[in-house]
């Protein structure tokens, strides 16, 4: 039988080419036809420890809250600016520049890497967490410690500041009570205080079984003031920050109780940034900036700078 010829190819050859082309299309991996989106995940403790490259700003492929920030050209950050040297108010400055501290510098760098404007929104500490959880603001940057409860309702970044202390929380008391209060056992008939919503509140509840009254106060500064004024006998505070506070207030009449500290599991250490639950991609970007300041040592330099500057303001 004669084969019908089309140009220099037979029908058999022509059909063979078509079949080969179909096979190639079938065998091509999906990434060849359409690149798969990155996988954004939490770790087993429900905080985000992955990072993205932030050198080119927010990627065009961004989704969720990160895409919204890119479209609006603005990053909103909730903070409680009453915790020097990480966030506090410098009354000698005006507008957004009056919010200073190591955390505020980190927030400014995140906005800079995003290529957007930064809006800093001051509020009480307990409102910081609830406003970000509700999606009112993009991020909480306010010396936040990791807790399982926070991770259940917020996305939390990797840690960016570690004090170097083996345990982060301890007791601050009046100098006159150093003989009377040497351990948590001496608090059974006394008033204790901690910042409401803080890790120190959780550590107090976990480690101090007996006390007369537990006062939960709006800010860490209120805890120091309450102890100094005799409205509380002991305050549960971050040890590293307490040392900075006591150095900056040499006549305050307060001291840390020696050898009293509340140990943390490794995953609970480090200050972190929080975003609305589900916005993991946004936290990947934040972690990219955290990687930058950790590798360069920049956050430690900011911390030391504002520790000196906050002391000079007193």
Q: Which CATH number goes with the domain that contains 208?
A: 3.40.190.10
* Same domain, yes or no: 157 and 235: no
* Same domain, yes or no: 153 and 281: yes
Alpha helix segments (H runs only) across 28-89: 30-33, 64-72
In a domain, 20, yes or no: no
Count of domains for the chain = 2
* Same domain, yes or no: 128 and 255: no
pTM of this structure: 0.73
Decide which of 245, 266, 287 is a domain's last residue. 266
* Same domain, yes or no: 202 and 232: yes
Average pLDDT, whole number, for the chain? 88
* Same domain, yes or no: 153 and 285: yes
In a domain, 123, yes or no: yes
* Same domain, yes or no: 141 and 209: no
Joined together, the tokens standing for residue 44 give 């087993």
* Same domain, yes or no: 213 and 182: yes
pLDDT value at residue 269: 83
In a domain, 142, yes or no: yes
Joined together, the tokens standing for residue 175 give 């100098």
Task: Average the pLDDT over each of 13-27, 163-177, 188-202 and give the range with the smallest value.
Answer: 13-27
* Same domain, yes or no: 87 and 146: yes
* Same domain, yes or no: 113 and 250: no
In a domain, 112, yes or no: yes
The pLDDT confidence band at residue 35, using thresholds 50, 70 and 90, is low
Joined together, the tokens standing for residue 275 give 């975003």
In a domain, 4, yes or no: no
* Same domain, yes or no: 285 and 260: no
In a domain, 12, yes or no: no
Between 39 and 272, the higher pLDDT residue: 272
Give the model confidence (pLDDT) of 37-53 as tens digits. 688 999 999 999 999 99
* Same domain, yes or no: 97 and 142: yes
> Rounded distance, CA 226 to CA 240, Å?
19
In a domain, 5, yes or no: no
Q: What residue numbers bound the domain in which 213 lies?
A: 167-266
Joined together, the tokens standing for residue 87 give 């966030």
Which residues are paired to 144 by β-bridges? 272
In a domain, 129, yes or no: yes
pLDDT value at residue 142: 97
Joined together, the tokens standing for residue 84 give 């020097």
* Same domain, yes or no: 234 and 302: no
């Amino acid at each position: 039988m004669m084969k019908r010829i089309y140009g220099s190819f037979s029908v058999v050859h022509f059909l063979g080419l078509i079949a080969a082309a179909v096979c190639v299309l079938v065998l091509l991996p999906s990434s060849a036809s359409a690149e798969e989106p990155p996988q954004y995940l939490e770790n087993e403790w429900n905080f985000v420890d992955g990072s993205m490259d932030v050198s080119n700003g927010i990627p065009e492929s961004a989704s969720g809250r990160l895409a919204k920030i890119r479209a609006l050209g603005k990053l909103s950050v909730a903070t409680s600016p009453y915790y020097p040297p990480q966030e506090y108010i410098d009354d000698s400055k005006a507008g957004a520049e009056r919010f200073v501290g190591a955390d505020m510098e980190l927030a400014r760098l995140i906005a800079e890497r995003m290529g957007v404007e930064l809006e800093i929104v001051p509020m009480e500490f307990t409102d910081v967490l609830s406003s970000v959880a509700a999606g009112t603001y993009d991020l909480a940057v306010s010396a936040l410690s990791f807790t399982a409860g926070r991770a259940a309702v917020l996305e939390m970044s990797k840690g960016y500041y570690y004090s170097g202390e083996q345990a982060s929380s301890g007791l601050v008391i009046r100098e006159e009570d150093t003989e009377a209060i040497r351990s948590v056992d001496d608090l059974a008939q006394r008033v204790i205080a901690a910042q409401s919503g803080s890790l120190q509140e959780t550590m107090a509840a976990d480690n101090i079984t007996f006390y007369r009254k537990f006062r939960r106060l709006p800010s860490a500064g209120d805890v120091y003031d309450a102890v100094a004024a005799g409205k509380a006998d002991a305050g549960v505070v971050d040890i590293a920050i307490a040392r900075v506070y006591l150095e900056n207030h040499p006549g305050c009449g307060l001291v840390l109780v020696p050898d009293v500290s509340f140990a943390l599991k490794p995953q609970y250490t480090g200050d972190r940034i929080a975003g609305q639950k589900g916005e993991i991609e946004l936290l990947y970007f934040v972690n990219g900036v955290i990687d930058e300041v950790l590798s360069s040592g920049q956050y430690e330099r900011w911390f030391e700078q504002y520790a000196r500057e906050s002391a000079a303001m007193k």
